[in-house]
């Protein structure tokens, strides 16, 4: 056995190896200096992610490279998604540092869990095998469960973590069962091997479809699609706001990569079957997410239901790659790139919205109710304008990145023949505009209930401003971002 061992090429996995080694250093430094120098763990974590980004850029050559016995792939799509993931996590760490410090939660284990969750996302993004996919998913999920419960004295956080863990374990079980069924039908754990078996017709169709149902259910849970959305409102509400921001941003990129690689790379031969499932879940997610968000008075729960609807819109693009059972390469790339574009846009908007919640929070005070935004324009016209940009963009109002993201996926759906679905999505988008514009109304037309000065640090203030301005700038020049997404997919599919 040892004589047949071939040393894998570690070069494509250099960012993952670097992050893993640096996580040990963060834990060690916190053990030695943590009691007096809390900032060191935060600084090292940010440096680690910047280092990962530099390594990813240096090792990226635009080619598709497989390693670890074809279980790990390094291509342009994985490099792009990893870079956006690093950016999202760095922003989350900067946004949440003061918030976690005020509550005594900025300990070494917090930063290490964030890095381990990020490592799990990176493995998911580069997975070319069911085993690798599941390994990355569990590493990310277990880290997130612990992060939700990191405030051990908070019963609400503990309850949210328990719900997340139980439902997450159920979803992981369904995903694993689906993978085992597909393995039994095709005889391969590699996504490429599964795709080849489907193309050659060497698999039992009933067994495959049965496995596909469980597989789609697992993917839908990670994306937060109806009817697998039950965990999202409670987890968003119960977790510390910095952790909520983390769950609502970077993992969406990994879940998108998971859906794309499993369904498009591996199971495209069953596209007619998973298209129908995604269609139903997309319509239900858009409808329920927008309607349920109207009734919320807590902005974290409002953004949770908003996330459900946004993932529904993203899935519209993901399911539009096949037209009438026929494959048109141009239409397929356009559809999948619109879904990628929507995911990136949503992550940017989500970071900004939760960043504003963290900006208004302070020691002993959680600015998580809609009332906390009353009269913000009188307290700070600039930050009211930033929140206005976030809300307008999420509502899909021109000319912000959210509008063009919605426009791209709706156009892809119409080209694929789902005109009626696109009309329904537009109608629910109008419904969704109500709860976003309600926040704007509270900021500009209501008297403030809290006159305390905004005490957030300079780093958070600058980052919120850059976040809002980026959403506006990408809205004015949407073609550049779309071109990056399209090129990335064309070079990776």
Tell me the pLDDT tens digit for each residue of 384-439: 999 999 999 999 998 899 999 999 999 999 988 889 999 999 999 999 899 999 99
Q: What average pLDDT does range 270-290 have in this prediction? A: 91
Range of the domain at 475: 272-493
Work out how many domains the chain is built from and give that number.
1
- Residue 341: exposed, middle, or buried by beta-carbon count in 10 A (0-12, 13-18, 19+)? buried
Share of the chain above pLDDT 90, in %: 60
* DSSP conformational letter for 452: P
Q: Report the C-alpha gap between 368 and 298 in whole angstroms.
A: 6
pTM: 0.94
Domain presence at residue 120 = no
Token readout for 107 is 């300990």
Domain presence at residue 261 = no
* Reported confidence tier of residue 221, pLDDT bands at 50, 70, 90: very high
Q: What average pLDDT does range 343-353 have in this prediction? A: 94
Q: Report the C-alpha gap between 360 and 300 in whole angstroms.
A: 13
Q: What average pLDDT does range 259-275 have in this prediction? A: 89
If one compares 136 and 458, the residue with the highest pLDDT of the two is: 136
The pLDDT of residue 39: 83
Domain presence at residue 442 = yes
Half-sphere exposure of 364 (CA within 13 A, CB side): 1
Domain presence at residue 99 = no
Whether pLDDT at 2 is above 60: no
Place of tokens 């990569």: 257
* Reported confidence tier of residue 325, pLDDT bands at 50, 70, 90: low
- Phi then psi dihedrals of residue 298, to 5 deg: -100, 125
Whether pLDDT at 335 is above 80: yes
Q: Which helix (H) or strand (E) holds 327?
A: strand 326-327
* 312 CB-near residues (< 8 Å, 6+ apart): 225, 226, 281, 282, 283, 284, 285, 286, 289, 425
Average pLDDT, the chain: 90
The pLDDT of residue 178: 93
Q: Measure the CA angle with vertex 247, ends 242 and 250; round to 5°.
A: 105
Q: What is the pLDDT of residues 232-256, one digit of tens each?
A: 999 999 999 999 999 999 999 999 9
Q: What average pLDDT does range 381-385 have in this prediction? A: 91
Domain presence at residue 450 = yes
Domain presence at residue 218 = no
Q: What is the pLDDT of residues 432-462, one digit of tens each?
A: 899 999 999 999 998 888 777 787 788 888 9
Domain presence at residue 308 = yes
Domain presence at residue 40 = no
Q: What average pLDDT does range 282-304 have in this prediction? A: 93
If one compares 283 and 272, the residue with the highest pLDDT of the two is: 283
């Amino acid at each position: 056995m040892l004589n047949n061992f071939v040393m894998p090429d570690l070069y494509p996995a250099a960012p993952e190896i670097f992050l893993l080694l640096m996580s040990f250093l963060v834990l060690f430094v916190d053990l030695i200096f943590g009691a007096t120098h809390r900032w060191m763990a935060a600084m090292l974590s940010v440096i680690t992610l910047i280092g990962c980004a530099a390594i990813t850029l240096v090792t990226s050559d635009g080619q598709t490279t497989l390693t670890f016995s074809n279980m790990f792939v390094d291509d342009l799509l994985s490099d792009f998604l990893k870079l956006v993931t690093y950016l999202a996590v760095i922003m989350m760490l900067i946004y949440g540092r003061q918030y976690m410090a005020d509550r005594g939660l900025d300990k070494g284990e917090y930063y290490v869990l964030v890095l381990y969750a990020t490592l799990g996302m990176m493995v998911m993004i580069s997975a070319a095998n069911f085993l690798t996919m599941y390994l990355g998913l569990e590493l990310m999920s277990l880290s997130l469960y612990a992060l939700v419960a990191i405030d051990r004295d908070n019963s609400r956080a503990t309850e949210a973590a328990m719900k997340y863990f139980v439902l997450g374990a159920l979803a992981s079980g369904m995903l694993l069962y689906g993978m085992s069924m597909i393995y039994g039908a095709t005889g391969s754990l590699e996504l490429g091997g599964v795709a080849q078996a489907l193309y050659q017709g060497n698999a039992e169709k009933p067994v495959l479809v049965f496995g596909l149902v469980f597989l789609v259910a697992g993917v839908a849970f990670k994306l937060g699609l109806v009817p697998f959305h039950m965990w999202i409102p409670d987890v968003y509400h119960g977790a510390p706001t910095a952790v909520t921001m983390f769950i609502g941003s970077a993992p969406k990129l990994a879940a998108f990569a998971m859906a794309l690689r499993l369904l498009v790379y591996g199971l495209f031969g069953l596209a007619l079957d998973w298209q129908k499932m995604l269609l139903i879940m997309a319509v239900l997610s858009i409808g329920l997410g927008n309607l349920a968000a109207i009734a919320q008075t807590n902005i974290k729960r409002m953004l949770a239901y908003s996330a459900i609807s946004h993932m529904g819109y993203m899935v519209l693009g993901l399911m539009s790659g096949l037209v009438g059972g026929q494959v048109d390469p141009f239409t397929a790339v356009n559809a999948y790139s619109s879904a990628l574009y929507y995911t990136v846009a949503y992550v940017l908007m989500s970071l900004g919205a939760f960043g504003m919640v963290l900006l208004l929070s302070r020691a002993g005070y959680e600015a998580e109710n809609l009332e906390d935004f009353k009269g913000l324009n009188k307290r700070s016209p600039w930050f009211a304008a930033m929140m206005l940009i976030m809300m307008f963009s999420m509502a899909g109002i021109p000319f912000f990145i959210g509008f063009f993201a919605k426009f791209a996926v709706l156009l892809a759906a119409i080209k694929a023949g789902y005109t009626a679905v696109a009309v329904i999505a537009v109608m629910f988008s109008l419904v969704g505009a109500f709860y976003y514009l309600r926040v704007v109304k509270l900021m500009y037309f209501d008297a403030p209930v809290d006159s305390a000065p905004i005490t957030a640090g300079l780093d958070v203030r600058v980052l919120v401003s850059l976040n809002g301005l980026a959403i506006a700038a990408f809205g004015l020049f949407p073609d550049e971002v779309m071109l990056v997404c399209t090129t990335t997919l064309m070079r990776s599919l």
